[in-house]
Amino acid sequence: MHWTLRGLAGALVASMVVGLAACGGREKNKSGEISVAVSSFPDSLDPALAVTAEALQSLWVVYTPLLTYAHAEGAAGARIVPGLARALPRISADGTTYRLKLRKGIEYSDGRPVKASDFEHAVKRILNLESVGTPYFERIAGAGAYLRSGKARGDISGIETDDSTGAITISLDEPYGPFSNVLAMTFGALVPSDTPFENQTKRPPAGIGAYKLANVRVNRGYDLVKAPGFDIADTPKAQLDTIAVEVVKNRGRQTQSVTRNDLDYMTDPPAPDQIRSVRDRFEGKRYREFVTNSTYFFFLNHRLAPFNNKAVRQAVNYALDERALVRVFGGLLEPGCNFLPPGLAGYEKIEPCTYGDPNAPPDLARARELVKQAGAEGEQVTVYGTGEPEAKGATEYFADVLSQIGLKGSPRIIPSANYYATIGNRRTRAQAGFANYFQDFARATAFFSIVDGASISDTNSTNFGNVDDPQIDATLARADRNPSAEAVSKDYAAVDRRLLEEAHLVPYGNRKLSVFFSDRIDFDDCTAWHPVYNLDYTSLCLK
């Protein structure tokens, strides 16, 4: 009996030890399927065409270009690293020739080998499809002649490729420092050479990335499925099996679904009237906010009264209350007076702000005095804005500010779909209005392109305020020849200061975005925020 009891006790202890060991040693299954809600279907799922943040967030992990951005948070994520290329390009001394070599043995998600000549095909698609990326790739020598020839299968003389060695040589018409950034845009991601010269959103071409696109239902959703064969050094693989992206137009519904764990992630911030409760309940546990590389500002048309007068432009800067605008954005705005966002080479915080502390009341008395001195009292100003809640609120606020300083401001709200085409049309004669800019690529050049005199045009102008400052243009022309943004960061900082000193526009902050997850997502270890592409889908995993 004694032995029997001892034996039983021993067996019990042994089984407990084995059981505990088994529990402790079992790997947590971090893969699986998650559901993601987007408010609208991406503008395109074709890498040659996609331009919106919704699209690029997905395409970045599906189509790896020759160069790409490091999968890292903060400033480190803005660093260009080799993608499909073995190394960063060798750039000729005159800055016009870029030499790269393709990694060996890489395959598309459908198993076909990747060829160096596929790059030229990708560029031809950009040019033929009149992609938003066309101006960037038109800098390649022969791109203009190729377009003029009208032959889709013609040759671009500035691109030389060798499929046997994987060598790619790109010649530019003239040096363009940010060209490495251009090569890191998803526009230039390699696609198979038989990909048609038409929008492939319905049947996206095979790519090389941690995920591949599947089950595309236009205007309804699509899946990102783990690409098992993807293996590129220093580029993370997918941790999840499937990310099912679904269009749910109502942000309120998205918020409720994530709150109830019926949905795993929403790409937009929670609905305005639910932000407070989400913050209160989930901040730091399932919800986090990030400052994006974006700039929010009001443009002032230099070619029209009263903003052709510097004193009036300064008055407006003095009168703006950034604290008010933070409220308009429901707290999702980082107030500031720089035009450049933090995290880019060239950003030097302007302190103290030229026109007063963004966190203090504005100087309305001084603003009124300047308007009076300029003889602009009573001048009618139409302020343009879109119907999006934040943009509409900001536009109405700004129009009221103008009225408070002696002008007569009245808002004009335009549907979002036509907004930028409307204010970018010279015939609209937009005096002032709401505008924002999210970077096309991580270099100050992208931001300054909208205040460069060269970007003024009669239609589809991106320089809404017709800013044409010879000093700025000359500085940018010089800086943009240098491939290293760090080397010319002082030039960029000088342009940033000049914009404010001359009151060329009214910058007021950088947009914050948020991530809000269900309880299933490993919030602490698997939710990396990328400065260019927002949430990094390769970082996501389950608890």
Binding footprint of other proteins on the chain (CB under 8 A): 252, 271-276, 279, 321, 323-331, 361, 387, 389, 392-393, 396-397, 399-401, 403, 410-413, 415
Within a 10 A sphere around the Cβ of 202, how many other Cβ atoms?
Answer: 10
The DSSP symbol for 121 reads H
Contact 399, 506 (CB under 8 A): no
Q: For residue 377, what are the CA distances in angstroms to 145, 305, 306?
A: 53, 11, 9
In this complex, which beta carbon is closest to other proteins, that of residue 255 or of residue 539? 255
Distance CA 507, CA 384 (A): 16
CA 506 to chain centre: 21
Of 321 and 491, nearer to other proteins (C-beta) is 321
Smaller CB separation from other proteins, 240 or 319: 319
- For the bound state, the minimum distance from the C-beta of residue 270 to other proteins, rounded and expressed in Å, comes to 11
Q: 398 or 441: whose CB is closer to other proteins?
A: 398
Q: Round to whole Å and give the CA distance between 241 and 214.
A: 12
Report the residue number, 215 or 403, with the smaller CB distance to other proteins. 403
Structure tokens at 504: 């060329």
* Residue with smaller CB distance to other proteins, 128 or 431: 431
Taking the least distance from each CB to other proteins, the nearer of 279 and 497 is 279
**Most distant pair of Cα atoms in the chain: their distance:** 109
Nearest alpha-carbon partner for 225 in 344, 89, 110: 110
User: Cβ of residue 372: shortest distance to other proteins, in angstroms?
Assistant: 20
Q: How far is the CB of 275 from other proteins (least distance, A)?
A: 6
> How near is the Cβ of 462 to other proteins at its closest, in Å?
21
Q: Minimum Å distance from CB 418 to other proteins?
A: 10
What does the alpha-carbon distance between residue 167 and residue 187 come to, in Å, rounded to a whole number?
Answer: 20
d(CA 85, CA 234): 12
C-alpha distances (whole Å) from 329 to each of 63, 131, 230, 284, 360 are 33, 31, 40, 20, 17
Q: Least distance in Å: CB of 248 to other proteins? A: 17
The least distance separating other proteins from the CB of residue 341, rounded to whole angstroms, comes to 21
The DSSP symbol for 28 reads P
